[in-house]
Structure 1
Amino acid sequence: MTRRLLASYLGLVLLVLLGLEIPFGLLFARAETSRLSNSIERDAGMLAELAEEHIEEGRTDQLPELAADYAERTGARLVVVDRTGAVLTDSASTTPVGTDLSAQPDIATALRNQTTLGIGPDADSGIGTRYVTVPGSSGETIRGALRLSYSTDVLDGRVRDIWLTLALTGLGVLAATTLIALALARWIIRPVRALERATTQLADGTLTNPPATDLGPPELRRLAASFTHTATRLQHLLASQRAFAAEASHQLKTPLTALRIRLENFEPHLDPAAHDSLDEAIGETERLGRMIQGLLSLARLESAATTPEAVDLGTVVADRAATWAPFAAEHDVRIATTGRPVGQVWAIPGALEQIIDNLLANALRVSPPGGTITLAVHHVPHGIELHVIDQGPGMSEAERQRAFDRFWRASDTHHDGTGLGLPIVRHLVDTSGGTVTLHPAPDTGLDARVRLRPVTTPLARDPHAAAGDVSASWSLDRWPQTTGRR
C-alpha cells in the first residue's frame, strides 16, 4: 500500500511538472530564437553602417580588423563585400578577398538595398547557420553589403541548457516530493498495519496487542478505537460463551442423571402395562442428554477451533476402521477399507477421528445385517476425498439438502437421534478447509464424501479458525449405540 500511495503522489506531481515545464521550455525556446534573431539584425545593421563608412572613406584595409574583433567576441562569422559583390573581408578567412559573391541570393538581394534573414547551411563548411544579410548604403547609394551569421549550435546549446535546468529542477522536486510522500504514507500506513496485526490476533482468538489510538489521521484513530472496543466486547462474549459451555455441561448433566435414576426407580412400583411408557420416558431423557451434549459441542466448536495441521488420512482411516470393526461385527456388519495411500491432508487436530466416528455411527445405525460399510480414499482434482458408503435405505434429494440443518431428522428416524451429528461433521470439515456432501450410493444407501486439501496445497488461513484446543470434545456421539442418523 505504501508503494501505491507513493506512486499516486509522484504520478500527480509528475503530471503537474510536465504540464508546467514542457510549455515553459517551448516558450523559452521560442523566446530565445526571437531574441537571437533580433540581436543578429541589430548587430548586422550597426556593422553595416560602420562598413559603409569605411568603404566611403577608402579605409577598406581596416575592415578585416573590425570583422576579426567582432567574430572573436561573439563567435559569429562576418563577410563584407563591395557594391559589385567582391569580398572585402571574411572573418573566417575561408573566402579570399576579391571573390565575387554577387550570384549568391542573399548578397544579390542586399545589393538591391534589401535585407535577408534566414536559416541555412554555411556555403563553405556546410554547418547550419542563422544569418542576416544587410546592405551598406546611404539612402539610395549602395556601397556594399554585410552578411552576419551564427551557427545554430549556439542557439541549440542555450535551448539544451534550459531543458537541462528544467529537468534537474523537476528531479529535485520529485526527490523532495518522494521524501514528503514517504513520510506521509508511513504516517497513514502505520495505524493500518497495526489494525491488520490486531485483526490477525483477533482471528487467532485473543487480541493481545490492541492498535494504538494516537497514530495516523483522525479517521484511522477513531477506527482503531472503535475496533478495540468491538474486539474487547467480542472477546468478552466469547469468554462468556466458553464459560457457559463449561458450566452448563456439568449443571445440566446432574439433574438429567437424577431424573433418569428416579424414573428407573419407579419401575418396581408401576403396573407392567406402564413399563413401555417408562422406557420411552427414560429414552427421551437419554436423548435430551445427548442433545444437550451436542449443543455444547457445537458451542465449543464455534468458539474455539485451531489452525489446520498435516494429518495422514490413511493412518486415521485404518485406525478408526479397526476400532469400530468389533462393534460392527456385533451387528453383523462388516467395515471395509479401499484405496491406495493418499498421504497427508490439512485438518484440525483430532477432527478426522471425530468426522469418521460420526459418519460410521450414522452408517452403522442404518446398515442391515450382513451389510458392508466401505471407507474409501482417493485423489480427486484439487483434493483428496474420503467416502463413507453404507447399504442402508439412503436419502431422497430433498432429505440430502436438509441433512446438515441442526435438529433436522428424516421422517423414518428413530427417536434416539438428536439431529446434531452431521452439523458437527460439517463444521469440523469446514474449519479444516474442506467440504462434505451426501450422494446416493451406487446400489443403495448413502455415500458421504469428505473432500480435504492435500498438504501439497499451501495452507491459507481459515477465516473461521480461532485459537484453542477442543479436540478432546468434538464428537457428539462417540459410540454408535447412542448415535442415530444425524
Structure 2
Amino acid sequence: MTRRILLSHLSLILFVLLALEVPFGLFYARSEVSRFSHSAQQGAMTLAEVCEEKMEHGVAGDLPELARAYGRRTGSRVLVADHRGVVLTDSAALAPVGKNLSAEPDISAALRDHPVVGSRSAPFAGGDVLFATVPGGSDAVVPCVVRTVYALGPLKAKIHGTWLALGFVGVGVLAAASLIGFALARSITRPVRALELATAQLADGRITDPPATDHGPPELRRLAASFTTTATRLQHLLHAQQAFASEVSHQLRTPLTSLRLRLENFEPHLAPCAQDSLDKAVGELERLSRMVQGLLALARLENSAIRPEPVDLRAVVADRVAIWTAFADEQQVDLVVSGATAVRVWAAPGALEQIIDNLLSNALRASPPGTAITLAVIDAPGEGSRTVSEAELHVIDQGPGMTESERRRAFDRFWRAAGADHDGTGLGLPMVRQLTRASGGEVTLETAPGGGLDAVVRLRHAESRTHRERPGISADTPDSGVFERASGREK
C-alpha cells in the first residue's frame, strides 16, 4: 500500500513537472533563436548603412577593416558585395574578392531590396549557421549587400544547458517529493499495518498488540477504535463460549450417568412386559449422552486454534487398523491397507487418528458380513491447477453406499440417511470435516467402484512450504473414544 501511494504521488508530481517544464523549455528555445535572429538582422542592417556611406564618400578601401572589426566584435563572418553581387571583402577570406555571388539566393534577394534571415549547414563552421543578408540602402538600385554569418553552436549549447538545468530541477523536485510522499504514505499506512497485524492475531485467537487509536487520519483512528471494540467483544464471547462448553461437559455427565443408574436399578422390580420399554429408555439415554459429547466436541473444535504438525499418514493408518481389527472380526469384515508406504502430511495433533476412527466406525456399520474395508494411502503430487502436492486417504467400504443427494447432505449436522442406524447422532461426519479442515485439508464422499462408499481425505504434504495453518482444535479436545461413540453410520 505504501508503494502504491508513493507511486501515485510521484506520478502526479511528474505529470505537473512535465506540464510546466516542457512548454517552458520549448518557449525558451524558440525565444532565444528568435532573439538571436533579430539581433543578427539589426546588426547587419546597421553595418550595411555604414558600408553604404563609405561607398558614397569614395572610401570603399575602408570596408575590409570595417568588416574584420565587426566580425571580431560580434563573432561573425562578414561579407560585403557591390550592387552587382561582386565580393568587395570577406572577413573570413572564404570568398575571393571579385567573385560574383549574385546567383546565390540570399544575395539575389538582397539585391532586390529583400533582406533574408535563415539557417543552413556550413562545413567550414563545423555545424549549422545563422545568416542575415540585407541590402545597404533603400534606393531603386541597391549600392551594396552585407551578409553576416553566425555559428549556432554556442546558442544550441546555451539552450541545451537550460534543458539540463530544468532536468536537474525536476529531479530535485522529484527527490524532495519522494521523501515527503514516503513520509506521508508511511504515516497513512502505519495504522493499516497495525490493523493487519491485529487481525492476524485475532485469527489466531488472541490480540497481544491492539492497534493504536491516536495515530493516522481520523477515519483510520475511528476504524481502529471500532476494530478494537469488536475484537474485545469477540474474545469475550469466545472465552464465554469455551467456558460454557467446559462447564456443560462436567455438569451434564453427572446427571446423565445418575439417570442411567437409576433406570438400570429399576430392572429387578419391573414386570417382564416393561423390560422392552426400559431397554429403549436406556438406549435413548445413551444416544443423548453421545449427542451431548458430540456437540461439546464440535464446540471445542470451532472455538479453538492449533498449529498443524507433520504426521506419518501410513503409520497412523496402520496403528488404527490394528486397534479396529478386533471389532471388524466380530462383524466378519476384513480391513485391508494398501498404497504408499511412507507419506508425511500436515495434520492437527490427534486429528488424523480421530478422522480414521470415525470413518472406520461408519464403514463397519454399513459393511455386510464377508466384505472388506480398504484403507488406501495415495501420494498425489501437485498437477494441473494444484500447485501444492497432496496425499489422499481412501476409506472404501462395500456397503449400500449413498445417492448423490445424500452425499451432498452427509456433512450437515444431525442429518442421517434414510434407513440408517437410529442410534447415530448425525455428528460423526461433521467432526471429520472439521478435523480435516483444521489440518488444512478437505474431505469428500464419492461412489466406490463396484458399489459402496469412498470417503476421501486430502491432506497437504509436510514438505509443502505453502501450507497455511488453519483454525483447528486445541490440546484439550476429547479423546478418540468420544468420537468413536458419537460416530456411527448416521450419515
2:413 corresponds, among 392, 406, 414, to: 406
Q: How does 1:116-265 map to 2 (within 5 A)?
A: 116-122=116-122, 127-137=127-137, 139-140=139-140, 142-265=142-265
The Cα of 1:484 is off from its aligned counterpart by 4.2
User: Which residue in the other structure is 2:387 paired with?
Assistant: none
What amino acid does structure 2 have at the position aligned with 1:244? F
2:443 corresponds, among 431, 436, 440, to: 436
SS at match of 1:405: coil
CA contact (8 A) 1:332 1:371 kept: yes
More off after superposition, 310-319 vs 380-389: 380-389
Alpha-carbon separation, structure 2, partners of 1:335 and 1:477? 22
What amino acid does structure 1 have at the position aligned with 2:460? R
CA contact (8 A) 2:427 2:486 kept: no
SS at match of 1:473: coil
CA contact (8 A) 1:342 1:384 kept: no
Task: Count the aligned residue pairs.
Answer: 484
Alpha-carbon separation, structure 1, partners of 2:194 and 2:126? 70
More off after superposition, 18-27 vs 274-283: 18-27
Q: Give the direction of change, closer, same or farther, for the CA distance of 1:412–1:142 in structure 2 (3 Å limit).
A: closer
User: Which residue in the other structure is 1:450 paired with?
Assistant: 457
RMSD of aligned Cα (Å): 2.2
User: Which residue in the other structure is 1:356 paired with?
Assistant: 356
Alpha-carbon separation, structure 2, partners of 1:112 and 1:397? 104
Alpha-carbon separation, structure 1, partners of 2:94 and 2:239? 102
User: Which residue in the other structure is 2:474 paired with?
Assistant: 469
More off after superposition, 135-144 vs 276-285: 135-144
Alpha-carbon separation, structure 2, partners of 1:13 and 1:5? 12
SS at match of 1:46: helix
More off after superposition, 267-276 vs 85-94: 85-94
State the Cα deviation string for residues 403-452 of structure 1 (Å, max 9, x = none). 11101112222332111000000111122222211122223322111111
Q: Give the direction of change, closer, same or farther, for the CA distance of 1:411–1:3 in structure 2 (3 Å limit).
A: same
Q: Give the direction of change, closer, same or farther, for the CA distance of 1:227–1:474 in structure 2 (3 Å limit).
A: farther
Alpha-carbon separation, structure 2, partners of 1:165 and 1:18? 14
CA contact (8 A) 2:425 2:487 kept: no
Alpha-carbon separation, structure 2, partners of 1:346 and 1:17? 55
The Cα of 1:475 is off from its aligned counterpart by 4.2
More off after superposition, 65-74 vs 238-247: 65-74
More off after superposition, 180-189 vs 149-158: 149-158
CA contact (8 A) 1:365 1:483 kept: yes
Alpha-carbon separation, structure 2, partners of 1:292 and 1:480? 11
More off after superposition, 376-385 vs 360-369: 376-385
CA contact (8 A) 1:351 1:474 kept: no
SS at match of 1:385: strand
What amino acid does structure 1 have at the position aligned with 2:291? M
SS at match of 2:156: helix
Q: TM-score, length-normalised on structure 2? A: 0.93
SS at match of 1:451: strand
CA contact (8 A) 1:94 1:124 kept: no
More off after superposition, 287-296 vs 23-32: 23-32
The Cα of 1:236 is off from its aligned counterpart by 0.6
Alpha-carbon separation, structure 2, partners of 1:29 and 1:106? 25
Q: Are 1:12 and 2:12 matched, yes or no?
A: yes
SS at match of 2:120: strand
User: Which residue in the other structure is 2:393 paired with?
Assistant: 386
Alpha-carbon separation, structure 1, partners of 2:201 and 2:433? 25
1:427 corresponds, among 431, 434, 439, to: 434
User: Which residue in the other structure is 2:49 paired with?
Assistant: 49
What amino acid does structure 2 have at the position aligned with 1:199? T
User: Which residue in the other structure is 2:386 paired with?
Assistant: none
More off after superposition, 119-128 vs 25-34: 119-128
SS at match of 2:424: coil
The Cα of 1:228 is off from its aligned counterpart by 0.8
Q: Give the direction of change, closer, same or farther, for the CA distance of 1:124–1:251 in structure 2 (3 Å limit).
A: closer
User: Which residue in the other structure is 2:490 paired with?
Assistant: 485
What amino acid does structure 1 have at the position aligned with 2:255? P
Q: Give the direction of change, closer, same or farther, for the CA distance of 1:136–1:123 in structure 2 (3 Å limit).
A: farther
CA contact (8 A) 2:300 2:474 kept: no
The Cα of 1:126 is off from its aligned counterpart by 7.2
Alpha-carbon separation, structure 2, partners of 1:28 and 1:317? 84
CA contact (8 A) 2:290 2:485 kept: no
Q: Give the direction of change, closer, same or farther, for the CA distance of 1:118–1:479 in structure 2 (3 Å limit).
A: closer
The Cα of 1:473 is off from its aligned counterpart by 1.7
Alpha-carbon separation, structure 2, partners of 1:481 and 1:10? 63
SS at match of 2:21: helix
Alpha-carbon separation, structure 2, partners of 1:410 and 1:107? 111
SS at match of 2:445: strand
Identity rate of aligned residues, in percent?
A: 58
CA contact (8 A) 1:342 1:377 kept: no
State the Cα deviation string for residues 285-344 of structure 1 (Å, max 9, x = none). 111111000000000000113122221111111111111112222332221101122521
Alpha-carbon separation, structure 2, partners of 1:478 and 1:269? 35
CA contact (8 A) 1:365 1:485 kept: no
SS at match of 2:142: strand
State the Cα deviation string for residues 366-399 of structure 1 (Å, max 9, x = none). 2222322111111335322111112222222222
CA contact (8 A) 2:297 2:477 kept: no
The Cα of 1:478 is off from its aligned counterpart by 4.1
Q: Give the direction of change, closer, same or farther, for the CA distance of 1:180–1:330 in structure 2 (3 Å limit).
A: same
The Cα of 1:470 is off from its aligned counterpart by 3.2
SS at match of 1:142: coil
More off after superposition, 135-144 vs 393-402: 135-144
More off after superposition, 119-128 vs 375-384: 119-128
SS at match of 1:257: helix
State the Cα deviation string for residues 98-132 of structure 1 (Å, max 9, x = none). 33333323223323333222222348557422211
SS at match of 2:70: helix
CA contact (8 A) 1:294 1:476 kept: no
